[in-house]
Every structure is written in structure tokens, then in C-alpha cells.
Structure 1
């Protein structure tokens, strides 16, 4: 009998190690979290669960994955970890926290969880040495006693899960740094070329429209020469922030290089593109930038060239060339204006 029990335990541990290897096989954070949640729920046989990641700098938990829970519950996507609270206690203890019946413990007083009908749970801190990654929650809607052997295996899985989350986060950060401009946080020139090719292909495949805006900050050399490069950088970051705010979520804003920005507008024809360009130009014109050592706020304007596919070009490179030439025409004819290949009546 002892041999059979030993063999069963060995087989079970082999299975959990196999599952753990599958968890660490991906570098996509969303995929990693979904795998962890799936395998953990299967291990302890719970109908629901979630994973919240922890930001130690802000002491904030953010819900990143969940299943078996209501939309109302999932909408509470972040919360501050209060000193003395249950979440803080779980993070500090760094060991499985098990509640067989939430109605029997006075410390379980989360109104959202109680309204959800959660009656039993396991909270698994996800840690790597001294670093807290987050918490894995496994929930049931009835009181129950969790199997001790399954909980031991869950602790093993949690160790692999923590490492996998850390690796995925590092990969995500590295990928983001490689694709974004260090000063403004916008996508960089490399990402622009990649996304432009994708959007052109999609536009042509579905016989649709797209537009491109080339935006240049007027008199930018003046800011650098007269007030210094830190002031020029401040102008760039302020304009970048405004451009991110003024365009749609579906649009793509890039720092093309120097003081130039480019915006890709999917599913937008010439008329909509001009409206968007004028809105951006007008918003930037209202900007005042305060620079250290300058006794007055600085006004900023931009010149914009607008081109659309398939109306003004038949390829991504040609579209960029048209928008670029139009932007320089706008600068040569007075700056702070939008130029298009043709006059478009806005009505």
C-alpha cells in the first residue's frame, strides 16, 4: 500500500511539474495569467478565480485575469492595499491563506466579495524571494474544506507562476522600450513602419480608406537655440501628450524623428482626416509651455500635411511622401496650418 501511495504521489508531482513548465513556456503576460488561473482552478476544483498583480511603488493591486465572476465584480479592476487590511495580511504572510466559510470569519468583510456570494477561498501570494508579484484567488460559492494535498501542489505551482509572471513582465517592458521613444513615450519610427504596412494591407484588402498626418513643430530650432535643449524636450513632451489625447483610441500616434510626429488614421477618408488635423493644430496652438529659467510661457504651433489612401497614393511609402511634402508646403506658406492635396469643403 505504501508503494502505491508513493507512486501516486510521484505521479501527481510529475504532473504538477509538467503543468508548471507549461505555465513558464510563454512570455505573453495575458496568456501566462490565463494558464495559471486555468491550472490552479483545476487543481483545487473551484468554479471561479482571479489574479491581481501588485505594484509595490504605489501599493496598488490591479485585477488582470478572472473567470467565473460577475461583470460587476471584475469592473473593480484596482484597489489600494491598506495597512492592516486582509490583502496586506496575505501579502505579508506570504503563504496560502484559506477560508473554509467566509461567514464564519469576522475579518472577511469585503462588500463586493460578499455580494458575489463567495463562501470559501484560497488566496495564494505570488512571490519571488523578496519581491511580491501579486495574489492568485480561487473562489467557491459554497463552504468547503480544501484538500491538503491539492493545496501543497498549488504552492508548488505558485512558485513557477511567480517566476513566469516576472519573466513575462520583463519581456513586456523590454518590448515596450524597443518600440517606444524614450522621451515622449510614443511609438517610435520602427513601429511606425511596421504598423503603416499593416494598415495599408488591411485598407487595400477591404477596399477601405486610411489617412496619414505628418506634423512638425514650428520654429523648434528656436526653442533649443534660445532657451536650451531641456526646454525643447519639454515642448516635445507636451505636444506628444496633447496628440495622444486629441486622437481616437483607434488612431496611432508616433514620434517620427526630431520635432516631427506622424499619425495613422485607420478607416478615415480625406474629409475626416482634415477635421482631425485641424483639431490637433488648434489644440496645440492653445498650448503654453513653462520652461525653467524662462519668465513667460511659450506658445507652440504645428504645421500639418494630410494624405489619404487610396485618394492621394497607392502605397505606404507614397502616402508618407505626399504627407511630408504637404507639411513642408504648410511651413513655407506661413506655418500653423493644415495642407491637403486638394481643397476640401468642410460641411
Structure 2
């Protein structure tokens, strides 16, 4: 009898200590505005305070999809800067739709639970609710049957509540930051971002002795296009142009709207000959198909002129590289347009 009472007292004291630690740590969590740092802190709290060996945190991407931000698997933490998408279904779908936690004492006896390859026997999922709305789910798993009790659900829910607010604040901050570096019309990075990114890439190229190239793109006869078809069609051309450039370059390349009808592409670890080939691919992609208005009433053939310059042969600073790529672009325009020119 006394042994049982002592055990229950010990469990209550442990739970109370966990709750107090979560509340204390939540202040630090709430001060972080970088999503990566927020996820790192949540993983630390789960590992150090709750001691869970299997844990995952998801945010709701849309009504049918979850994005995995981070997880703990057999004690090893892992974050996903590019969240992994997973279809919302089964138990988690129920947690999201009801906004209520779900505990499974023995998953081998639960028909709604899919088989697990990690030897998992029990499971708990709690909704992440911020401002009355479910924004994600946190789940913990165990290789022991019945590992999660009422008190575990209570503590896990407290952590999920703090995590939800921190994650939502970080996402809002991220969107605000993106507005300052993204061009509203095209969705590409703007000139401000371009300037900082080019300087950063030049520093990296210097440090690791890597090549770096820059392409400047200008739409030929764009003013005439605006005068003939109107500015709405001109905007449509800029948007379609952005898409065609994206389709012509690699994932590592950085596309920016430099200003007006000019675009810039930063090509990390790229020699001039390769950059020229990429420029030619862009030029061909642009001229290969008509640009059509949204209402399909107007269409036009559009071409671009491109200048190419490379580090270090054309410049060792961002100012020098931009001057040289401008020179190349000027020569491409002057020699008949619809050309790729290198210096």
C-alpha cells in the first residue's frame, strides 16, 4: 500500500516538475521568430523534459496535407528545412478534425492504425491549437504497450499549445520577411535580395575557390509591347517570363527581378561556358512560344537579350561583376537583340 502511494506521489511530483519546466521553457520558445530555431527548441523540450524516443511535429499545409517539420527517431533529432509532405488520413485526420487528443494503448489491436516498422506499440497524438484553430499535430510513440497515461496526455497537450503559438508566430514572421524580399508581381526575389545574395555568393566563391556566374536578362521591345497591348498584358508577360526562366535553370540558381523588364540569375559554382549554355536555354525557351493574355484575346512573340559575366575573370566584387554583365547585355542589345553575349 505504502509502495503504491510512494510511486503515485513520485509520479505526480515528476509530472508537476515537467509542467513547470515546460512553462519556464515556453518563454524562451515564444521569443524565437526563426522557424528552424523553434523546431529545434521543441525537439529539445520533448527529448530533455518528456524523454520521448519517438516524436514528430507536423503543421497543416492544407486541408488534406501535413508537413513534417521535425522528428525524433530512436533518440536522434532531425529537422526538415524543406518540410516533408504527408497525406492527412487515419488517426491524425481525426485529431485535426475534432481538435481532440488521441491515445492508443495497443496499436496492434487498433484497426485504424497502420502497421509500424519501428516496433511501436503505443501512440499519442495531440492537436496544436493556436487562436482557436488547429494548425498542426504532435505525435509521440513508444515501443511499450500502454506507455501514455492521462497525465502524459495533459503534459503533452500543454507543450503542444505552447509549440502551436511559437510555430504560428514564426510562420507569420517568415511571411513578413518574405514580403520584403519578394517581388509581388512575379513572385521572384527582388533587387534588395539580389544585392545581398550576390555579395554572399562572391564571398563563398572566394573562400572555397569556386566559379560563379551572373546572367542579366532584358525583354526586347518591352515598351512597344506595353504600348501595343496595354500594361495588363505587359504584367502577364513579366509573370510568364519568370516562369520560363525558372523552367530553364537549376534549383540551385537564384532568379531575381532586377527592375522593370530586367531579370538576373545568380549561378553558383558555374563557369562562364556553362552559364552561356544556360543563357542560351533561357533565350530559346522564351522565343519558342507565344505569350498569351489571360483572356486569350492577345498574343505576342517575345524575345530577350542576355549578358553573361563570371567571377573571378570579369570581376571580384559585386559592383565589378554587375558592371561587366551590364556591358555584355548592352552589347547583346546593340548587336540585334535576341542574343546571349559574354565578356
- The normalised TM-score by structure 1 is 0.87
Measured after TM superposition, the shift of residue 226 of structure 1 is 1.0
Partner residue in 2 for 1:54? 60
Separation in structure 2 between the aligned mates of residue 49 and residue 132 of structure 1, nearest angstrom: 19
The correspondence for 2:84, drawn from 63, 77, 80, is 77
The correspondence for 2:176, drawn from 158, 161, 174, is 174
8 A contact 1:41–1:48 mirrored in 2: no
8 A contact 1:43–1:150 mirrored in 2: no
Measured against aligned partners, the alpha-carbon deviations of 1:20-47 in whole angstroms (never above 9, x if no partner) come to 2232231121221232233234444331
| Shift in CA distance, 249/292, structure 1 to aligned 2, threshold 3 Å | closer
Separation in structure 2 between the aligned mates of residue 86 and residue 14 of structure 1, nearest angstrom: 30
Separation in structure 1 between the aligned mates of residue 105 and residue 47 of structure 2, nearest angstrom: 16
| Shift in CA distance, 118/27, structure 1 to aligned 2, threshold 3 Å | same
Separation in structure 2 between the aligned mates of residue 145 and residue 317 of structure 1, nearest angstrom: 62
Separation in structure 1 between the aligned mates of residue 60 and residue 208 of structure 2, nearest angstrom: 42
Separation in structure 2 between the aligned mates of residue 9 and residue 103 of structure 1, nearest angstrom: 28
RMSD over equivalenced CA pairs, Å: 2.6
Partner residue in 1 for 2:314? 312
Separation in structure 2 between the aligned mates of residue 79 and residue 8 of structure 1, nearest angstrom: 35
Partner residue in 1 for 2:195? 193
Gaps of 5+ in 1: 342-347
Separation in structure 1 between the aligned mates of residue 328 and residue 180 of structure 2, nearest angstrom: 30
8 A contact 2:15–2:155 mirrored in 1: no
Separation in structure 2 between the aligned mates of residue 8 and residue 239 of structure 1, nearest angstrom: 60
8 A contact 2:104–2:122 mirrored in 1: yes
The correspondence for 2:103, drawn from 92, 98, 106, is 98
Separation in structure 2 between the aligned mates of residue 188 and residue 334 of structure 1, nearest angstrom: 28
Partner residue in 2 for 1:214? 216
The correspondence for 2:230, drawn from 228, 233, 238, is 228
Gaps of 5+ in 2: none
The correspondence for 1:255, drawn from 252, 257, 274, is 257
Separation in structure 1 between the aligned mates of residue 328 and residue 190 of structure 2, nearest angstrom: 22
Separation in structure 2 between the aligned mates of residue 208 and residue 42 of structure 1, nearest angstrom: 41
Separation in structure 2 between the aligned mates of residue 7 and residue 52 of structure 1, nearest angstrom: 30
User: 1:38-49, aligned counterparts within 5 Å?
Assistant: 38-49=44-55
| Shift in CA distance, 286/193, structure 1 to aligned 2, threshold 3 Å | same
8 A contact 1:281–1:337 mirrored in 2: yes
8 A contact 2:22–2:45 mirrored in 1: no
| Shift in CA distance, 119/10, structure 1 to aligned 2, threshold 3 Å | closer
Separation in structure 2 between the aligned mates of residue 23 and residue 198 of structure 1, nearest angstrom: 29
8 A contact 1:126–1:158 mirrored in 2: yes
- The normalised TM-score by structure 2 is 0.88
Measured after TM superposition, the shift of residue 78 of structure 1 is 2.4
Partner residue in 2 for 1:37? 43
8 A contact 2:15–2:151 mirrored in 1: no
8 A contact 1:214–1:262 mirrored in 2: yes
